[in-house]
Amino acid sequence: MNLYYSETLSIDSYNGFHLVQDHIGTNHSSAWNDYDYIVKFKIYHVKDGEVNKLGYIRTLINGYEDTSKYFIEKGVLEKPKIYNITGVMNEKDSVSLPLDIDFYNILKKILKKDEINELLSLICDASFFYSNYNTYKDWPGFNGSIMRDGSASEAILRKGHQIAMGNYVPKKSFKILLDNVSDTIDPVEFYFNNSREFERTNINLIIGRNGVGKTHLLKSLTESITGLKSHGDDWPYFHKLIVVAYSPFEDFYTKDDILDKIDEKYSKNGKPRKPKSKDRRRLNVNEYAYVGFRKENGNFDKDWPKNHSIDSLIKIMDFDDDNWWWDNDNTRLNKLLETLSLSIKFDHLAVKLKDQDELFKIDNNLYKQFKEIKNKIVKEDGIFFIKNGEALKLSSGQKIYSYMLPAIVAEIEDESLIILDEPELYLHPSLEIGLINMLKFLLNETSSYAIIATHSAVLAREVDRKGVTILRHNEENNTEVITPNIQTYGESLELIIGEAFDDYVTPKPFQKVIDKLIEKHESPQEVLSSYSKSMGDEALTYLASKITHDSDFEVEDE
């Protein structure tokens, strides 16, 4: 097996694996710089003239800031711009890690086990040489380049080799203890269990009144998972974090915010990169995605979700087109169509093209044609749903589906964590049911998980009590964490509302009206006799509680 460093994409005559710096074949003039370390490469597999891209890896040589210089110094020049570097790396001074966990899935599909081990040894894969981790982490540049993607890098490091060999089995149950949020918020423990036969607990809810710290808690969780602050050693390592928040008042991190904080953490001068490189910088971070009303730069734009839905659709189609050769049975487009069809009945997705009246229908067989027209799409019109040849008129809640689901499907990877902040804001109860149904389908399809901050009893009805966390203020105005006393899964909405929001003791307007009637008529029995037929069960129960226990009364239906 041969390994090459190539400064050209004309590599089809050299069977083996080629490391090509990320800017080759693009309009960028230089390789990407990871905090003064130039370590990012595209990796290609060449066999009998066929060239396939496996993804991206970062390769660090201890003592070198530019890995390509090491390859040129140590490699054998086969022809101009192609160096044979088979055997020039060893695990004592070299280490690599792919940017995406799918790298190992591809290897499992195209290579035999002994070939996988040979390749991972040649590129000094950190997962293959995991026992050397304590040595690697002390190398200059290792944390700021190879491992700077937080939980995603940890997931690749710990799971990669096992995935490639077909030995990896996802953890069925785990807990996440978040105990460093604030002095005024109790520690919160999230419980996940995918081994249950009756009902998986792959969704956790944080439920409570406004002001108890739900969003603050989720933002703190975001910081821990992205590596901006430390967390417990026994946490699971998610492949990706996706934050979904459609409130006009939310302040979750956009990808640029995360990148700025990573810059502050790892750059030598502690300053973010210049704005002109931010578009390219976003392409070099895959472990975090934000979905909401704010653009990458943080500016609120109510029309942005439409644009973003088109960007997401393009990303889905490009991903499928790039990966058809090894995984053409499980396309992301199919996943999107299946998920959306659970709540919206349609025949086709479609987009509007510039200077064309007829909508362009999206189909699995049109990847080449889509590639030709994608720059002509009118992004500000968003995605259309076609039924019986006509574009459907969507409700506001369905529009949120059309914004949210393409973005999630475009970003999600196996074992991702999705954080949703009050997703019920624009949804009536039947659409809330549709949302939880679609979300459960998507989580099951990708072995992923979700944490939702919500006020919705409808959502709580679909989650086991072990996955529900209630937040309440105590007398000192600190936030207490409470586990429901009732089984929320399949429970009545009335009981869930009473339990989650302490509704049992909250004065209701109808109770005040009844109290005034009693005061006016001087007798609850008279009120009962006169108004019982105009009251619902809860009002009758309240009125009955005002009648002395030794009084006899009876309420009859007509």
DSSP string, 360-405: EEP-TT-HHHHHHHGGGB-GGG--EEEETTEEPPPPHHHHHHHHHH
Q: Is the pLDDT of residue 551 over 60?
A: no
pLDDT-derived band at 526 (thresholds 50, 70, 90) equals confident
pLDDT-derived band at 276 (thresholds 50, 70, 90) equals very low
Give the pLDDT score at 550: 44
Q: What angle do CA 266, 142, 291 make, to 5 degrees?
A: 55
Cα(331)–Cα(311) distance, integer angstroms: 17
Which conformational region is residue 366 in: left (phi greater than 0), alpha (psi within -120 to 50 degrees), or beta? Answer: alpha
Q: Tens of pLDDT along 408-435?
A: 999 998 889 999 999 888 888 888 898 8
Q: Is the pLDDT of residue 469 over 60?
A: yes
Residue 540 has which token pair? 């009758």
**Residue whose token pair is 């970062």:** 58
Q: Which of 51-60, 281-290, 407-416, 453-462 has the lowest mean pLDDT?
A: 281-290
What is the average pLDDT score of the chain? 85
HEC per residue, 333-371 = HHHHHHHHHCCCCCCEEEECECCCCCCEECCCCCHHHHH
Give the pLDDT score at 383: 94
Contact at 8 Å (CB) between 281 and 259? yes
Give the pLDDT score at 309: 95
Q: What percent of the chain has pLDDT over 70?
A: 91
**HSE of 74 in the Cβ direction (CA atoms, 13 Å)?**
17
Give the pLDDT score at 167: 87
Cα(284)–Cα(32) distance, integer angstroms: 8
State the average pLDDT over residues 491-520.
78
Q: What percent of the chain has pLDDT over 90?
A: 36
Paired residues of 79 in beta bridges: 82
Give the pLDDT score at 59: 94
User: What are the residue ranges spanned by the domains of the chain?
Assistant: 3-164, 509-545
pLDDT-derived band at 121 (thresholds 50, 70, 90) equals very high
Give the pLDDT score at 274: 53
**HSE of 84 in the Cβ direction (CA atoms, 13 Å)?**
11
Give the pLDDT score at 489: 85
Q: Is the pLDDT of residue 320 over 80?
A: yes
Cα(411)–Cα(240) distance, integer angstroms: 8
Q: Tens of pLDDT along 235-263?
A: 777 888 999 999 888 889 888 888 787 77
DSSP annotation of 482 reads: E
**φ, ψ of residue 419 in degrees (nearest 5):** -105, 125
Strands 468-473 and 449-454: unpaired
Query: Going by C-beta distance under 8 Å and a sequence separation of 6 or more, which residues neighbour residue 179?
Result: 187, 188
End-to-end CA gap in the chain: 88
Query: Going by C-beta distance under 8 Å and a sequence separation of 6 or more, which residues neighbour residue 320?
Result: 331, 332, 333, 364, 367
Give the pLDDT score at 378: 94
Q: Is the pLDDT of residue 521 over 70?
A: yes
pLDDT-derived band at 554 (thresholds 50, 70, 90) equals low
Q: Is the pLDDT of residue 462 over 60?
A: yes
Contact at 8 Å (CB) between 64 and 70? yes
Residue 341 or 529, more confident: 341
pLDDT-derived band at 548 (thresholds 50, 70, 90) equals low
